[in-house]
Chain A
Amino acid sequence: MTALFEVKNLTIDIPVPSGMLHAVRGISFEAMRGETLCIVGESGCGKSLTSLAMMDLLPTTAIRNAEKMTFQGQDMRSFSEHQMSDIRGSQMGMIFQEPMTSLNPSYSIGDQLTEMLIRHKNASRAEARERAIYLLEKVGITAAASRLNQYPHQLSGGLRQRVMIAMMLMCDPALIIADEPTTALDVTIQAQILLLLAELQKEFDMGLILITHDLGVVARVADRVAVMYAGEIVEAGTAEEIFNRPTHPYTQGLLDCIPIPGKTARGAKLGAIPGIVPSLVGVIEGCSFRERCKYASDACAKPGIELVPVSGIVEEHVTHDYRCVLSADQCVENLAGNA
């Protein structure tokens, strides 16, 4: 199976007054049709910039470089702005965190839904309207026909996010990039939106790249996971592997930080990752997590720590890579010793 989207060694540099900010430092990943890839990380890890880079929507000062960047087999680096804007919306759909800011308040839902189809696919107004109603019903909006005449402010946050999803589906995209799509929503609505996204993705056989900081969301929807820290992927693999056998100390730390009903004792000390994310300005060598890592040693400061496969995986389709000087067994042992 060929990848729907593939990027190799993506870097994003942003010039700042004090030097060059290396926001994303050589990350590679691929998205397949019918598969959900979750990019997870805390604020400042570069996950949102990565999603913007995929859509070519980075701020103008940012410098994007990649060894390879293909979408449906085509080299994206050679696309003109015009080609890119054709692809955005028609073949690549994006959902943002705050649905209110992504919908234009002065146009009706119907106008915004149909505009894309009319513009990208030369559909007639009636056809576009019909598809809009079909998709609004698909995303669970009742009385869809009458909703077309409503304006964004008349809808609740959950409904707006549903409209966003319907809008993104209008042109039948091959890939969806969702950047924190449920963070602004209530838990009850969050579950529904995620469920909806997962169902639609299977139904339309789309690729889904979900960017989030919420490990609970990741565990429930991801097929594959990439954990980012300080602009790098520190651990990547299939969801079961990452959650059942977290290997990188950062991933282990993150999982230890969240209380799990039924597992964590009430009021018990939660794990913590001391310190703060290092500055990414200037030259960065060695493991960027070593400042906060309890297993750090002199070896961690040496450059060239690569993402390597965890040994002992024999099953097909199961992947698990990590970026640490310790052996995978040692990492897992560390975790067991902690518990």
Chain B
Amino acid sequence: MTTPNVLEIRDIYQTYQISKGLFQPKKPLHAVNGVSLKVARGEVLGLVGESGCGKSTLAKILLGLLKPTQGEVLIDDKPVADLDRLDIARMVQPIFQDPYSSLNPRKSVGSIISLPLRVQNAPNPETWQKRVEETMDLVGLPKRVYNNYPSQMSGGQRQRVAIARALINRPQVVICDEPTSALDVSVQSQILNLLVDLRQELGLTYVIISHNLAVVEHIATRVAVMYLGRMVEVADTDDLFEARQHPYSQALLNSVLTPDPSLGISDSHLGATYPNPIDPPSGCTFHPRCAKKMAHCDSEAPTPIDTGSGVVECHLYKD
């Protein structure tokens, strides 16, 4: 039986207690502050927001690496709390930003890619090498690098190794945390092409976390915009890029610099500072930076409003 939602999170909170000093009481930091999200099978969800908005924390929760303070994560309609860590690992796999830090420098390529097989205790160890080679072929790595070490490879090749490791057990969901931002432009396009191909070939679902909105626009089918631990807008990519609703999404998208010399740089009017998440602004947390701030924005927190194709959280769109 297949369900439409391969990944679902319900009202997730992740709170850290930050100590401000030896004799001061600890203060809570809501890294993720009540987020709900459904990821349908085969979809590519882009997760965007500034650093500190909680997108990386959310990725860790989706990978089962972090137990949320409150809320529920479901993979394939099964609550993560009931799943074994090996079960989660078979279904959800990560790809990280920095291919220099994501591969153990002491292990050979073959050993890195086969690690998931060994951990899962996959049947027929004699076929492992063949499976590794098949996966290497799939991600465009030549067989001769099987015994090489990461230090002997270029950034693009390393990222392919990381992708092969994530895919060898054929997971359903791949969480890509800035998969191309540490790579050169010419290599970035190769990795993006590979991700697009692999998705079609293996029927993968991606959650792509990126600050590069051009990349998100290129690959994602739906985009979620996060701000200070909240999801302020979720919409289909086309809707978001053509008719974004939340003022923050507008500012964020206006900051994308396309290579067009006839356009200058427009001011996003976001002000210089990202608010301190330990001491978030009252009401709508975006109000100090908002260009369309209204009188009641600093006192009343907005609630999610259904827009048909997604959700927006802003007083502007309240009936």
Q: Does chain A touch chain B in the assembled complex, meaning CB atoms less than 8 Å apart?
A: yes
The DSSP consensus for interface residues of chain A is helix
Among A140, A156, A222, A253, point to the contact of B186 (Cβ < 8 A).
A253
- Contact assessment for B218 and A259 in the assembled complex, using a CB-CB cutoff below 8 Å: yes
Closest to A186 in B: B50
Do most interface residues of chain B lie in helix, strand or loop, or is the interface mixed?
Answer: loop
A187 touches B255 (CB 8 A): yes
- Chain A's closest residue to B289 (CB) is A188
Mark each residue of chain B from 217 to 234: 1 if its CB lies under 8 Å from any CB of chain A, else 0. 111010000000000000
Return chain A residues, CB-CB under 8 Å to B214.
Answer: 216, 258-261
Task: Using A141-B272, A158-B273, A258-B189 as known contacts, say yes or no to A191 and B257 having CB atoms under 8 A apart.
Answer: yes
Contacts of B184 in A (CB 8 A): 42-43, 213
Give the residue of B192, B215, B252, B259 whose beta carbon is less than 8 angstroms from that of A218: B259
A-facing mask of B228-242, CB < 8 A → 1, else 0?
000000000100010
Which residues of B lie under 8 Å from residue A271 when comparing CB positions?
A: 189
Q: How far is the CA of A189 from the CA of B185 in the complex (A)?
A: 21
Q: Are A191 and B266 in contact (CB under 8 A)?
A: yes
Q: Is B251 an interface residue (CB 8 A)?
A: yes
Min C-beta distance of B34 to chain A, whole Å:
23
A273 proximity list for chain B (CB < 8 A): 186
Chain B CB within 10 Å — which of A186, A214, A254 has the most?
A: A186
Using C-beta atoms within 8 Å of the partner chain, give the interface range for chain B.
Answer: 35 or more
Point out the residue from A141, A156, A243, A257 that lies within 8 Å of B188, measured CB to CB.
A257
Contacts A191-B267, A270-B189 hold; do A260 and B272 have CB atoms under 8 A apart?
Answer: no
Which stretch, A75-83, A105-113, A192-200, touches the partner chain B?
A192-200
Query: Which residues between 49 and 82 of chain B lie within 8 Å of chain A, taking CB atoms?
Result: 50-51
Residue A239, interface by CB 8 Å: yes
Minimum distance in angstroms from B112 CB to a CB of chain A: 20
Q: Is A187 a contact of B252 with CB atoms below 8 Å?
A: yes
Most buried by A among B186, B221, B237: B186
Which residues of chain B are within 8 angstroms of A158 by Cβ–Cβ distance? 272-274
Which residues of A257-274 have CB atoms within 8 Å of chain B's CB atoms? Answer: 257-264, 266-267, 269-273
Task: Look across to chain A and name the residue whose beta carbon is closest to the beta carbon of B196.
Answer: A267
Nearest CB of A to B301, in Å: 22
Q: Are A261 and B241 in contact (CB under 8 A)?
A: yes
Shortest A279–chain B CB gap in Å is 12
Given A258-B185, A259-B192: A216 and B273 within 8 A (CB)? no
Q: How far is the CA of A259 from the CA of B185 in the complex (A)?
A: 10
Does A217 reach chain B (CB closer than 8 Å)? yes
- Pick the contact of A190: B188, B255, B266 (CB < 8 A): B255
If A257-B188, A266-B219 touch, whether A243 touches B270 (CB-CB below 8 Å) is no
> How many inter-chain contacts with C-beta < 8 Å in the A-B complex?
147
List the A side residues contacting B211 at CB < 8 Å: 186-187
Question: Is the pair A219, B257 in contact by a Cβ cutoff of 8 Å?
Answer: yes
On whether the beta carbons of A192 and B267 are closer than 8 Å, the reply is: yes
The one of A186, A188, A243 in contact with B260, judged by C-beta atoms closer than 8 angstroms, is A243
B21 at the interface (CB under 8 A from A): no
Q: Which interface class (under 10, 10 to 19, 20 to 34, 35 or more) fits A?
A: 35 or more
The residues in A between 207 and 221 inclusive whose CB is less than 8 angstroms from any CB of B are 213-221
B186 neighbours in A (Cβ, 8 Å): 42, 253-254, 257, 272-273
Expressed in whole angstroms, the minimum distance between the Cβ of A304 and any Cβ of chain B is 26
Q: Which of A222, A271, A272 has the most chain B CB atoms closer than 10 A to its own CB?
A: A272
Contacting residues, chain A, for B215 (C-beta < 8 A): 259
Contact between A272 and B252, CB atoms less than 8 A apart = no
Most B CB within 10 A of own CB, among A158, A216, A261, A271: A261
> Bound state CA distance, A254 and B263, in angstroms?
19
Contact (Cβ within 8 A) B185 A254: yes
> Bound complex: CA of A188 vs CA of B193, how far in Å?
26
A157 to B50, CA, bound (A): 12
Q: Tell me if A129 is interfacial: C-beta within 8 Å of chain B.
A: no
Question: Which residues of A, 33-48, contact B by the 8 Å Cβ criterion?
Answer: 42-43
Known: A254-B185, A254-B186. A216 touches B213 (CB 8 A): no
B190: Cβ under 8 A from any A Cβ: yes
Question: How far does the alpha carbon of A43 sit from the alpha carbon of B186 in the complex, in Å?
Answer: 11
- Other than A142-B272, A191-B266, A219-B261, give 12 A-B pairs with Cβ distance below 8 A: A186-B51, A187-B252, A190-B255, A219-B259, A261-B217, A262-B241, A266-B219, A266-B221, A267-B218, A269-B196, A270-B218, A273-B186
Closest 5 pairs between A and B when the two form their complex, measured CB to CB: A216-B257, A259-B218, A257-B189, A270-B189, A273-B186
